[in-house]
Structure 1
Amino acid sequence: MSSFTPLDIVFQDDFLIAVNKPHGLLVHKSFIAADADVFAVQLLRDQIGKRVYPSHRLDRKTSGILLFALQEELNGVMQKQFMEAEVTKHYHAIVRGYTPDESEIDYALKRDDGVVQQAVTRLRTLDRVEAGFSVGKHPTSRYSLVELYPQTGRMHQLRKHMAHVFHPIIGDRPHGCNKQNKYFLDTFSMNTMLLHACYLSFKHPLTGDTIEIRADYQPEFSRMKQLLGFAESRPQVPIGQE
């Protein structure tokens, strides 16, 4: 049986609907997650009494904005916007170590079929903390709260890019740090990935209006943020969206 409460709807009109997906919820049925029997598509369909069509996807352990179309034809238009990088997406993540104030990660990624694709992610650091516990050889542990804006849309791009620059996202498996992940599981009972899709902006496919959607942190992200000692704040739109 489902352990998920009704989905938090953060945007809705006659054509599109967006929810704040919780950690651990699959978007739709997948052969790589045979253990799951609850999916965002079916939950939202049952909640609003209409068929819904996911315009993009989020990893199971990633929380945040998930956009659906309410008509299949319209969904093709939205999917095209995502594929052609016409949708602005911003994420927040808690990562290991102290990240630079701002940086750009330009590092090509290889798909499962061997094809190499250009991938670019912009990063801005929102806060840094030094926690009073030891995970490795040092007596304390350092973490950063970062804002990530992918300029391309490759699979697991943010996870792979943060691992590439040695600031893996806490809770990320298999790209993250096993030692950190085990410590957070054993000590804090934290078994998710601290990555949250907090902002989405796009042109409405029918009206042409600019749509901006924001989503607050899910409870587990907020709990870990508070536990580690980050400043109290809610997701904000980043400075500079050029």
Structure 2
Amino acid sequence: MNEITINTNEKNQRIDRFLKKYMPEASKGFIYKMLRKKRIKLNNKRAKPNINLKEGDKIQFYMSTETINKFKEYKKVEDVVIRFKVTYEDENIIIINKPKGLLSHSAGNNENTVVKQLISYLHKRGEYDPEKEKTFIPAICNRLDKNTSGIIIGAKNNLALQSINESIRNGNIDKYYKCIVKGKVATDKELKGYLIKEPKTNKVDILGHEIKGSKKIHTKIKILNENKNFTMLEIELLTGRTHQIRAHLASIGHPIIGDLKYGDKKVNKYFLGKYKLENQFLHAYKIVLNGLDGKLDYLNNKKIVAPMDTKANIIKEELFGK
């Protein structure tokens, strides 16, 4: 018999989901069979698959160590170059300022990503040890397009991951972006519509009415700076859909400069030639945290701002002044 004890990073999840993470090479059918036949017990009792784990619970495995090890996946931390900057950090969360050109995460194993860098960063600092963790791996709570820079929220423990994710789902974390668009935007406004993804082109279309497969979108825009040809906007993202900001602005005739998917080719060519701007001028610059309770309630009403990079600031100042 083998026994493990549930720690703070494993509590508040169903036992079947924990076991699937603990033994990822085992099928769900095998896990349910072991629970049903009492080959896996919780606190020396039969456990239903949907029972929630508490800190200090003990799980007994009535199977050989060799069998358990066959189903486990040993986590390896890659020593990668850290390209992000840290905007805020405490014992629970880390706010990353992601540079352009960096993937948030990847299904493949070869590319350097924010997730790999986060794990490597915490491992080097002694805040994450894969040999001590049964299932938890540091993770990010939101994503940005590869060529969009700015704020990504990282979770250092499972409590933070669950709390931040729930707050995002409930719409309690306010997210703001800065961008420069073609043309002079007349006034602050709210944009509403429906977005549908075109898998073949990896683009989205904005519709004025709902159709099957479309998703409702809501975007607020506020004018920050303007001249006769361009406008700098603050975008408040009220729904977070794929390419929402880029496509929504393009749909009203104000595409983001440098945007190769939804932008104006002539404008993009100008900014590429003058500033070497190779992608969209879009930066996730501010979040306001809310809706967090328990051990994370100290973060409520906290505003975090991540500065733009040097090239973005040069473009901004040349277009609109300091």
* TM-score class normalised by the smaller sequence: 0.7 to 0.9
Per the TM alignment, residue 193 of structure 1 is displaced from its structure 2 partner at its CA by 1.5
Kept after mapping to 2: 8 A contact 1:127/1:231: no
Could you say what secondary structure the match of 1:18 adopts?
strand
Question: In structure 1, what is the equivalent of residue 120 of structure 2?
Answer: 46
* Residues 94-130 of structure 1: CA deviation (Å, up to 9, x unaligned): 1000012311111211134761111111111111124
- C-alpha distance 182-126 of structure 1, shift in aligned 2 (>3 A): same
Could you say what secondary structure the match of 2:147 adopts?
coil
Residues of 2 paired with 1:19 and 1:207: CA distance?
A: 18
Task: Indicate the larger mover: 209-218 or 75-84.
Answer: 75-84
Question: In structure 2, what is the equivalent of residue 121 of structure 1?
Answer: 219
Report the AA paired with residue 116 of structure 1: S
* Residues 61-84 of structure 1: CA deviation (Å, up to 9, x unaligned): 111111011123531332222233
Residues of 1 paired with 2:182 and 2:259: CA distance?
A: 11
* Selected match of 1:171 from 249, 258, 274: 258
Per the TM alignment, residue 90 of structure 1 is displaced from its structure 2 partner at its CA by 0.7
Report the AA paired with residue 213 of structure 2: V
* Selected match of 1:194 from 264, 277, 281: 281
What is the correspondence of 1:1-242 to structure 2 with a 5 Å cutoff?
Answer: 6-30=83-107, 37-49=111-123, 50=128, 51-112=137-198, 115-130=213-228, 142-203=229-290, 204-205=292-293, 206-209=295-298, 210=300, 211-227=302-318, 229-232=319-322
Task: Indicate the larger mover: 91-100 or 176-185.
Answer: 176-185
Higher-Rg member (1/2): 2
Structure 1 regions of 5+ residues with no counterpart? 131-141, 233-242
User: Identical aligned pairs, as a percentage?
Assistant: 27
Which structure carries more helix by proportion? 2
* Residues 182-220 of structure 1: CA deviation (Å, up to 9, x unaligned): 222233211121111111112345332312211111222
Could you say what secondary structure the match of 2:189 adopts?
strand
Per the TM alignment, residue 39 of structure 1 is displaced from its structure 2 partner at its CA by 1.0
Could you say what secondary structure the match of 1:119 adopts?
strand
Task: Indicate the larger mover: 71-80 or 191-200.
Answer: 71-80
Task: Indicate the larger mover: 184-193 or 146-155.
Answer: 184-193
- C-alpha distance 194-128 of structure 1, shift in aligned 2 (>3 A): same
Per the TM alignment, residue 19 of structure 1 is displaced from its structure 2 partner at its CA by 1.1
- The two structures have a TM-score, normalised by structure 2, of 0.62
Kept after mapping to 1: 8 A contact 2:83/2:99: no
CA RMSD of aligned residues (A): 2.4
Residues of 1 paired with 2:241 and 2:160: CA distance?
A: 23
- C-alpha distance 179-216 of structure 1, shift in aligned 2 (>3 A): same
Per the TM alignment, residue 89 of structure 1 is displaced from its structure 2 partner at its CA by 0.6
Per the TM alignment, residue 45 of structure 1 is displaced from its structure 2 partner at its CA by 2.3
Residues of 1 paired with 2:81 and 2:258: CA distance?
A: 20
Residues of 2 paired with 1:145 and 1:187: CA distance?
A: 18
Report the AA paired with residue 230 of structure 1: F
Which structure carries more strand by proportion? 1
Per the TM alignment, residue 30 of structure 1 is displaced from its structure 2 partner at its CA by 4.5
Residues of 2 paired with 1:74 and 1:17: CA distance?
A: 10
- If asked which structure has higher relative contact order (CA below 8 Å, sep 6+), I would say 1
Kept after mapping to 1: 8 A contact 2:178/2:233: yes
Could you say what secondary structure the match of 2:289 adopts?
strand
